[in-house]
């Protein structure tokens, strides 16, 4: 779990974290071939300077013949803090 780091990708569908799961924890053991047309949510973790708060921001991407294209339209740097401590 130390390798997990709250930075991973997962497929999009009806479940919370659809397969395939892309992470340092399992991708080396159970690799998944990425193919054009697959859509993923890539999650990142950014701790706040207060040592308590954090943000997990998902970017949605689609795999194309030429690489990946970001689908998310809202710029993450403009996110609003809804409940500051």
77, two tokens? 């740097």
Spell out, as residue ranges, where the chain has pLDDT lower than 70. 1-7, 76-85
46-55: which pairs have CB atoms within 8 A and are 24 or more residues apart?
50/85, 52/85, 53/84, 53/85, 55/79
25, two tokens? 């924890």
pLDDT at 35 (0 to 100): 92
Rounded CA-CA distance 21/25 in Å is 10
31, two tokens? 């690799």
In this structure, are residues 47 and 58 in contact, taking their beta carbons and an 8 Å threshold? no
pLDDT at 1 (0 to 100): 46
């Amino acid at each position: 779990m130390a390798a997990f780091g709250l930075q991973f990708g997962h497929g999009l569908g009806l479940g919370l974290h659809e397969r395939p799961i892309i992470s340092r924890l399992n991708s080396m053991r159970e690799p998944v071939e990425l193919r054009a047309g697959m859509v993923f949510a890539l999650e990142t973790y950014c701790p706040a300077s207060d040592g308590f708060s954090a943000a997990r921001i998902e970017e949605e991407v689609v795999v194309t013949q030429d690489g990946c294209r970001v689908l998310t339209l809202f710029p993450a740097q403009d996110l609003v803090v809804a409940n500051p401590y």
